[in-house]
Structure 1
């Protein structure tokens, strides 16, 4: 989880490979109306996100045919969003990828994204609610390269 540009898709895909489980990108679950709204520079509201989060929650709850841990990249910016996802999968563990605004801004500016303009970074930062101590999570600072981040995540998972 984390704001746009933090590396959710890259790290999630690598982590899925490493753990031998399927990886799903939550961006693929956004309906066309959400993508168009973001592409126009307008942030999503809770109503826009509700069906998207429900689809992600359903994907989390779907058995993975013994293929290992399911990894889903999803911003999950608010506690209420994470609560909704946990209603589908109560033992959900969030891996929170985070970094400074300047780091994220540099990443967003240096990439092409189907619908997420850099102008929405401020709204994502404003919406992000810290994880509570009662929320199972692993905090990850994104300054290292993706492979090193995955190594660190796997070590933390082995200690759990």
Structure 2
């Protein structure tokens, strides 16, 4: 989880490979209307995000084994929705909040090609972001410029936090 450009996809793919798990790219599950809205520089509303979060939750629920999902999950309410709060979840959901300075993330967003998320929406993501609460299963990891080092930091944090 984290704001756009923090490395969710890169770290998520590498983490999934390390754990021998399937990787799901949450951005691929956005409805076209959401992608168009963000590409036009308009932040998503909770109503825009709801069907997207439901699609991700459905993907997680259908999985036969634990998987790694890249998803912003910026608010507690979104994470609760992904966890299936109030429902019987097939397995616990653990969140890894990837963090980095706004300037570094803005430079990453500006440097990437072919993504629908413009740097102009970064401040709205930070405004929406609610870091993990102490009662939420997960950890926060500062992203390194080296994805391998970040994956190792995630693995270490998960071992301390979850296991």
TM-score over 0.5 for the pair: yes
Matched, 1:102 2:109: no
Taking the aligned partners of 1:114 and 1:142, their CA distance within structure 2 comes to: 20
Map 1:123-138 to 2 at 5 A: 123-138=124-139
1:32 aligns to what? 32
Pairwise CA distance, 1:157: 2.9
1:48-59 equivalences under 5 Å are 48-59=48-59
Q: CA RMSD in A?
A: 1.4
1:79 aligns with 2:80: no
Displacement of 1:143: 2.8
TM-score, structure 1 normalization = 0.93
How far is the alpha carbon of 1:138 from its aligned partner?
1.4
Runs of 4+ in 1 over 2 A off after TM superposition: 155-159
Q: Aligned pairs, how many?
A: 157
Moved more, 41-50 or 146-155: 146-155
CA displacement at 1:91 relative to structure 2:
1.4
Alignment of 1:8-23 (within 5 A): 8-23=8-23
Normalised TM-score (structure 2): 0.91
State the 1:151 CA deviation: 1.2
Q: Give per-residue Cα distances to partners, 1:21-75, cap 9 Å, x unaligned.
A: 00000000000000000010000000000000000011111133x5xx3000000
- Segments of 5+ residues of structure 2 without an aligned counterpart are none
Deviation digits for residues 81-116 of structure 1 (CA, Å, limit 9, x no counterpart): 001011164611000001111111111111124310
For the 8 Å contact 2:98–2:142, the answer to whether it is kept is: yes
Q: Distance in 1 between matches of 2:147 and 2:129?
A: 22
Give the match for residue 145 of structure 1: 146
Task: Give the alignment of 1:83-94 within 5 angstroms.
Answer: 83-87=80-84, 89=89, 91-94=92-95
For residue 50 of structure 2, give the secondary structure of its aligned residue in structure 1.
Answer: helix
